[in-house]
Structure 1
Amino acid sequence: MKDDEKILSQFDLRQFLTYRLSKLQNALNAQAGHVLASHGDITLTEWRILYILRSMSTATMSQIVKESRLDKAQISRAIKGLVDKGLIASVQDERDQRRQLLSATAEGRALKEKILPIMMRRQEAMTEGLTQAEIDTFIKVLDQLDETALRREF
């Protein structure tokens, strides 16, 4: 057995950061999906788009994709769903006919304001029992992992 194979055979999958982060992400997404479906009948991706539009007021799909780092097709389907539900408006950009400018409607802003306190309580529950120093360290680690995730060569 080669040295690399020996090391890998002794390595528990639960020790891989990517495995643990993926499991955590799946659990948190399921939790958020349940909360959003029961309080607003929207998906997690739709919620993220509404929240992004909160800070940008008007955005293109490309800007939302860049900000969220979600799949373009997933964002496109969610935008269609939000438009169909009357939660966002889509108008053609006069300067570039290929682009649509997206903005939250009054209904979309009202739904976001209704759900935001619930999502903030969820956020607080996740950090309950952690010191500010632990939270700061965790954010620093996430930032470093985020940068590493952009690399393509190893």
Structure 2
Amino acid sequence: MSHETVPAHAPLDLERFLPYRLSILSNTVSQSIAADYQDRFELSMTEWRVMTILARFPEISAREVVDRSRMDKVAVSRAVARLVDAGRVDRGIHGSDKRRSVLKLSDAGWAIHDEVAPRARQHERDVLEKLDEEERVWLDRILDKLMG
């Protein structure tokens, strides 16, 4: 049955519904990576994502973390608070603007990042290994197009 002939009130065919499939794939990949760091470092998935963003974009605000990650602002705020309390993230003041705080990984945060990141890259390689080179190129193009 083509998409054009499906009645509007019909249940979603979740196995073919793109948002559902992307969510399941994202959760599957993220959870396999998370298994490495959750118990070992007592890090939530959101905390790890905040850390990766701060590693890539140091000295940005929590609002910028939300913008870059598209994560819920309350979840980011809680994750940042836990990371600061644990000494993994430092909160400072942005230059001359005393009202704007910025975040960066502490030395302890960098130590965790530098241990987890190579494992995360290996998980990515394991997932992408299921595709041939042409499929990997197309996947990259398709993701860029859909996210653009």
TM range, smaller chain? 0.7 to 0.9
Higher mean displacement: 102-111 or 43-52: 43-52
The equivalent residue for 1:129 is 130
Does structure 2 conserve the Cα–Cα contact (< 8 Å) formed by 1:61 and 1:102? yes
The equivalent residue for 1:12 is 13
Does structure 2 conserve the Cα–Cα contact (< 8 Å) formed by 1:40 and 1:115? no
Higher relative CO (Cα under 8 Å, sequence separation at least 6) belongs to 2
Shift of 1:79: 0.5
Does structure 1 conserve the Cα–Cα contact (< 8 Å) formed by 2:32 and 2:123? no
Residue type at the aligned position of 1:80: A
More helix by share: 1
Alpha-carbon distance change, 79 to 11 in structure 1, aligned in 2, over 3 angstroms: closer
The equivalent residue for 1:115 is 116
Distance of 2:101 and 2:11 partners within structure 1: 52
Q: How does 1:1-154 map to 2 (within 5 A)?
A: 6=7, 9=10, 12-147=13-148
**Number of residue pairs matched by the alignment:** 145
Shift of 1:49: 1.6
Shift of 1:144: 2.0
Shift of 1:8: 6.5
Runs of at least 4 residues of structure 1 off by over 3 A? 3-11
TM-score by length of 2: 0.85
Alpha-carbon distance change, 130 to 81 in structure 1, aligned in 2, over 3 angstroms: same
For 2:87, what is the secondary structure of its paired residue?
coil
Distance of 2:11 and 2:76 partners within structure 1: 40
Alpha-carbon distance change, 13 to 56 in structure 1, aligned in 2, over 3 angstroms: closer
Name structure 1 gaps, 5 residues minimum: 148-154
TM-score by length of 1: 0.82
Name structure 2 gaps, 5 residues minimum: none
Over the residues paired in the alignment, what is the CA RMSD in angstroms? 2.2
